[in-house]
Structure 1
Amino acid sequence: MKNAAKDHPLLLCLCLAYLLFFISYLDLSKFWFTYTAAMTLLMTLSFLIEHPDSQKQPLRNSLLYGSLSGALMYGITWTASKWLPLLYPPLQIQLEDLYRLLSPASAWQYAVLILLIIPGEEIFWRGFVQRKIHGHITTIPSFLLAALLYTLPLAFSGNILLLLAGIGGGLLWGTLYAWKKNLQMVIISHLLFDLLLLAVFPLQ
């Protein structure tokens, strides 16, 4: 852990990521512009500092495990969306706010979500951050810490449901990456989850 704290490129990238996410959530009217720019920059830095590690797997395996895990994540999210507002009714308003924030409203937003944002998040958080942390500590603590670091900046949104989804996604995709070290699989999982959640079967 001490060595991870001395990993200056990792620490600088994390600080930059948190600053960029804070700016993105500060003015939600410009969210799609600022967040797209943030993920593009962080993805680029990941490649420039140290090429993200992704072991090759047969495409059919990536599609199979990616699709199954993405569908599982959606199923868990759907179930939580039905039960949590019953336990705490204000979460229904949070769900509506979440869709206003994250739902693509135009073709270009769908394009950047698929081509830049989702790949960028996985390349940065799993292929760069988690892999760098794993270079200093063992597998389970490394993906748990990476999941926490992935989730924390979502607090800038002020949305409890987004924070909970971040915890679930961070643990699931972190586990997948720790298991197979395959970014393609994790990107497919994340992509399917987002498309189901935002376009195919919205929760509201």
Structure 2
Amino acid sequence: MFVFKQVGLFDFWYWMSSNLLILLSLVFVLDKSNGQEILRDLREKALQKVFIGILAALALFIVFYVGNVVIRLVFERAGEGIQNVYSFKQEASPLRIGLLMLLIIGPGEELFWRAYLQRRFGLKFGKMAGFILATLLYTAVHVATGNMVLVLAALICGIFWGWLYMRYQ
């Protein structure tokens, strides 16, 4: 998906969205307990989780804002890596990207990486091992881009979101 950014009418954003929908469909068909667990999780302290989510988004924004400055000082070619992340935008409109991120990609990634994989790994190997395994896998899928700045960002996000899931699930 990262390598083939455009195939026919499907650009990166449509590929990512459709792949997530297929993955999640398989998860829900093959593991009925996962859907029940997600519904149970959504019912518990929903308002608190929304508030934590907003604070977490703000914290992650600050981390990446500061990280942008620091990484450019430490690695002279980091700016190029950061710019390459934005090349995934391609010809897609900001509205389409925003809607896909809000409605499919953001929730879909959390449902797959945290609510499914991290939870399953946690049940099998223990919470901390599940957190570490899910984070490493989440980071590893970004290696195909060849963009180490994106891989580092994925590692940071994987740690951050994985810890939040482990702490507040």
Q: Same fold (TM over 0.5)?
A: yes
The two structures have a TM-score, normalised by structure 2, of: 0.86
Deviates more, 1:97-106 or 1:71-80: 97-106
The two structures have a TM-score, normalised by structure 1, of: 0.72
Figure out how many residues of one structure are paired with residues of the other and give that number.
Answer: 158
Spell out, residue by residue over 1:55-107, the C-alpha distance to the aligned partner (whole angstroms, 9 max, x if none): 23333201211111111111111111101111111110111111121585243
In the alignment, structure 1 residue 25 sits paired with structure 2 residue 6: no
* 1:100 match: 87
Structure 1, gaps ≥5 residues long? 1-23, 182-204
Equivalent of residue 29 in structure 2, options 48, 51, 54: 48
Question: For 1:67 and 1:161, how far apart are their aligned partners in 2?
Answer: 25
Secondary structure of residue in 2 paired with 1:135: helix
Question: For 1:129 and 1:40, how far apart are their aligned partners in 2?
Answer: 15
CA separation of 1:66/1:106 partners in 2, compared to 1, >3 Å: closer, same or farther? closer
* 1:68 match: 55
RCO higher in structure (CA 8 A, sep ≥6): 1
* 2:71 match: 84
User: Match for 1:138: what amino acid?
Assistant: G
RMSD: 1.6
Does structure 2 conserve the Cα–Cα contact (< 8 Å) formed by 1:98 and 1:162? yes
In the alignment, structure 1 residue 113 sits paired with structure 2 residue 113: no
Does structure 2 conserve the Cα–Cα contact (< 8 Å) formed by 1:43 and 1:121? no
Secondary structure of residue in 1 paired with 2:93: coil
Percent identity between matched residues is: 23
Report the alpha carbon displacement of residue 109 of structure 1 after superposing the two structures with TM.
2.6
In the alignment, structure 1 residue 153 sits paired with structure 2 residue 141: yes
User: Match for 1:40: what amino acid?
Assistant: L
In the alignment, structure 1 residue 35 sits paired with structure 2 residue 16: yes
Does structure 2 conserve the Cα–Cα contact (< 8 Å) formed by 1:36 and 1:117? yes
